[in-house]
Amino acid sequence: MRVSYQELSETLRRALLTTGLEPDRAALCARLIADSTCDGVPSHGLNLFPRLMTMIRTGVVDAAARAARVSVSGAVERWDGRGGVGALNAYEAMDAAIERSREHRIGCVALANTNHWMRGGTYGWQAAGRGAIAICWTNTLPNLPPWGADAPRIGNNPLVIAVPRASGHVVLDMAMSQFSYGALAAYRSRGEPLPVPGGFDSTGQLTRDPAAIEASGRPLPIGFWKGSGLSIMLDTIAAVLSGGRATHQIAARPEEETGVSQVFVAIDVASLADRDEVTRVADAILADLHVRYPGQRTVETRARNLAEGIPVDPSAWQFARTCAAAQ
Amino acid sequence: MRVSYQELSETLRRALLTTGLEPDRAALCARLIADSTCDGVPSHGLNLFPRLMTMIRTGVVDAAARAARVSVSGAVERWDGRGGVGALNAYEAMDAAIERSREHRIGCVALANTNHWMRGGTYGWQAAGRGAIAICWTNTLPNLPPWGADAPRIGNNPLVIAVPRASGHVVLDMAMSQFSYGALAAYRSRGEPLPVPGGFDSTGQLTRDPAAIEASGRPLPIGFWKGSGLSIMLDTIAAVLSGGRATHQIAARPEEETGVSQVFVAIDVASLADRDEVTRVADAILADLHVRYPGQRTVETRARNLAEGIPVDPSAWQFARTCAAAQ
């Protein structure tokens, strides 16, 4: 089933208005969710929308709260997300980091007490669209065993890196787990093995069987001990810089996950090299790869979905339509 | 075979003096190499020393060159390494990033035209020792096939992240390859399989056989497609920010690898949280892991080696002694 971008974003906007979000913020949030879905990441777009609405209704997410700047020191700001809508808080924080980078050439915003940012790549595309390099990440609830342990004590802590390029921004959006639980479920429901080992089974053997990993609760960090270490570093920096919670302080149930910490770094690359030069350098690197570059598929998917309509999950789409009709 | 820290660093210092390095720079370079060896990373310390000396003698590395600041714009500096000794250039660049961060709370130095920085972790320990968070990386020669390709087109581009902590800094130092060629050779010579799959054999199957990966030339990026993407992003940012070379422009033979690009970011965390607070937050995170944290083994190894002497590879040690005797 496919719907137009206009219909998707308008439906989401009307649904969000029912939560008490201010009109301009409902429109922005709807656009961010529609963009993620259009870009081929419905898992972090429309398909997360029911959970967002539930978390607003249960009071875990406060739709009326707005993030506030707590301190400014040079090129570094601290923000308090005040438990508001994660995607809006993250968008505003990246916006502030970009503004800092206009003045100092590099800017950093650390955001405490926020909620799930939905698609992390959103904030990379946001920065690249304004000509900035972005490096940003979030911590999460404990959903991954660190290397050497069998219980989930670290987060999958998505990391986003973006470089602007006239011929298509280069945007990497990757979690520290090799496969998300959502991806494991998708492989299982299709009856397919994972393309590479994705975790341990309950006997402690590496496996490509998604169901065995769901059963053991032991998905793999990327690069085994390496991604485990990287997750720990990202969590530590996010908690230290923001003054907010670390993964071990975040509720372990997804529908109760709140108070996460995030870091947004923007670099005003235009001050170092003109836009043509950045594009020329990036083009040469990507042309030499002979494989897809990070973000390439997104650009292709976006163009196709804008032309042909955006594939939507029937039940998530029905949920959004029902919410919108209740306005 | 074990030697004292004093004997190791003094021997390296005298050996380096024969290259025409200025006395203070020879002493610093000797200390950095001795530290890496003492910290349990001889592969990037003493064992790389013969290659450094060879590269100086063949003129690939210019021992007389000093890195120069090319531009300063806000909190971002561009440096030209002028083909000098990589470890000294990197140390100086991180020092400049820390200085920038004193003024702007975050600082960034992009270094072009430099050489192998030896142990990347060195610059993380350097920053943490001065109370700063560090994020730094280097590009390298093409030594890793990107995901989806079978020829080496990306670098293993080591990434270092450090957080200062009174009870022991937290320092991650990881390349984008799951195992280095040096590690593959070590497993092979011990007759051991890799602990996890490390690459493809020549039939395209994932394998734990180190010799099969050496034969195919297809080691794995960490996290398969994920580390491949991260390597591409690190290379692109390093080349764009520094104005220097990207991996595809760097000679593919290790003994000719020169003109690499690096990025050093320092964050003056002391301006956001006092040192006790940073330590308290990090302590709580690390205590919850129930496994080793990044850098923990380094601290333990350093203490043991300072007490018992530093294990040295006999042939690399003999090489250093011979160089020093030629003074």
Contacts of A232 in chain B (CB under 8 A): 170, 172, 285-286, 289, 293-294
For residue A267, give the chain B residue with the closest CA: B76
**A147, A196, A144: which is closest to A175 by C-alpha?**
A144
pLDDT tens, B6-42? Answer: 999 999 999 999 999 999 999 999 999 999 999 999 9
pLDDT tens, B199-241? Answer: 999 999 999 999 999 999 999 999 999 999 999 999 999 999 9
Query: What separation, in Å, do the N-terminal and C-terminal C-alpha atoms of chain A show?
Result: 24
**Average pLDDT for A61-86:** 97
Contacts of A146 in chain B (CB under 8 A): 289-291
Q: Across chain A, what does the average pLDDT equal?
A: 96
> Quick check: is A116 catalytic?
no
What is the per-residue pLDDT for B122? 98
**B80, B123, B127: which is closest to B100 by C-alpha?**
B127
For residue B74, give the chain A residue with the closest CA: A104
Q: Which domains does chain A have, with CATH numbers?
A: 1-58+295-327 (1.10.1530.10), 65-175+223-293 (3.30.1370.60), 178-220 (3.30.60.50)
What is the per-residue pLDDT for A270? 85
Q: CB distance A273–B108 less than 8 Å? A: no
**Average pLDDT for A210-223:** 97
The answer to ipTM > 0.95 is yes
Partner residues linked to B109 by β-bridges? B77, B264
Q: CB distance B239–A281 less than 8 Å? A: yes
Q: How confident is the model at residue B272 (pLDDT cuts 50, 70, 90)?
A: confident
* B276 pLDDT more than 90: no
Interface test with A, best of B76, B167, B296 (most A CBs within 10 A): B76
3-state secondary structure of B241: helix
Contacts of A294 in chain B (CB under 8 A): 229, 232-233
Q: Are A201 and A68 in contact (CB under 8 A)?
A: no
What is the per-residue pLDDT for A276? 87
Alpha-carbon gap, residue B318 to B50, rounded angstroms: 10
Q: What percent of chain A has pLDDT above 90?
A: 96
Write the residue in B105, B172, B272 that is nearest to A233 by C-beta: B172
What are the structure tokens assigned to B159, written together?
Answer: 């990434």
Residue A71, min C-alpha distance to chain B (Å): 9
For residue B174, give the chain A residue with the closest CA: A226
The angle subtended at Cα B234 by Cα B228 and Cα B235, nearest 5°, is: 90
Query: What separation, in Å, do the N-terminal and C-terminal C-alpha atoms of chain B show?
Result: 24
pLDDT tens, A105-137? Answer: 999 999 999 999 999 999 999 999 999 999 999
Partner residues linked to A221 by β-bridges? A177
**Average pLDDT for A297-310:** 97
DSSP designation for B190: H
Q: CB distance B267–A291 less than 8 Å? A: no
What are the structure tokens assigned to B21, written together?
Answer: 């390095």
Q: How confident is the model at residue B136 (pLDDT cuts 50, 70, 90)?
A: very high
**Average pLDDT for B283-301:** 94
B277 vs A170 pLDDT, higher one? A170
pLDDT tens, B52-80? Answer: 999 999 999 999 999 999 999 999 999 99
**pTM of the predicted protein model:** 0.98
Contacts of A153 in chain B (CB under 8 A): 288-290
Q: Is the dihedral of CA A265, B157, B151, A194 positive or negative?
A: negative
Marked catalytic residue, from B44, B116, B169, B290: B44
What is the per-residue pLDDT for B327? 66
Alpha carbon distances (Å) from B49 to A83, A128, B58, B116, B318: 53, 41, 14, 11, 11
What are the structure tokens assigned to B50, written together?
Answer: 């013969």
* B198 pLDDT more than 80: yes
What are the structure tokens assigned to B81, written together?
Answer: 């390494």
Alpha-carbon gap, residue A153 to A145, rounded angstroms: 5
Q: How confident is the model at residue A275 (pLDDT cuts 50, 70, 90)?
A: confident
* A327 pLDDT more than 80: no
Q: Is the dihedral of CA A51, A57, A59, A61 positive or negative?
A: positive
What is the full DSSP assignment across B125-187? HHHHHTT-EEEEEE--SS-BPPTT-SS--B----EEEEE--TT--EEEEE-SBSS-HHHHHHH
* B275 pLDDT more than 90: no
Q: How confident is the model at residue B89 (pLDDT cuts 50, 70, 90)?
A: very high
pLDDT tens, B243-268? Answer: 999 999 999 999 999 999 999 999 99
Q: Please count the other Cβ atoms lying within 10 Å of the Cβ belonging to residue A28.
A: 19
With 0-12 / 13-18 / 19 or more C-beta atoms within 10 angstroms meaning exposed / middle / buried, residue A135 is: buried
**Average pLDDT for A187-202:** 96
What is the full DSSP assignment across A256-276? G---EEEEEEEE-GGGTS-HH
What is the per-residue pLDDT for B274? 81
What is the per-residue pLDDT for B41? 96
pLDDT tens, B162-179? Answer: 999 998 999 999 999 999
3-state secondary structure of B65: coil
The 3 state secondary structure assigned to A212-250 is HHHHHCCECECCCHHHHHHHHHHHHHHHHHHCCCCHHHC
Q: Please count the other Cβ atoms lying within 10 Å of the Cβ belonging to residue B293.
A: 24
Task: Return all residues near B24 (Cβ < 8 A) that are at least 6 apart.
Answer: none
What is the per-residue pLDDT for A234? 98
Q: Are A228 and B228 in contact (CB under 8 A)?
A: no
Size of interface A-B (CB pairs under 8 A): 240
Alpha-carbon gap, residue B138 to B66, rounded angstroms: 18
Contacts of A228 in chain B (CB under 8 A): 291
Write the residue in A151, A267, A285 that is nearest to B248 by C-beta: A285
Q: Which amino acid is at A251?
A: A
Q: State the pairing for strand pair A106-114/A76-80.
A: parallel
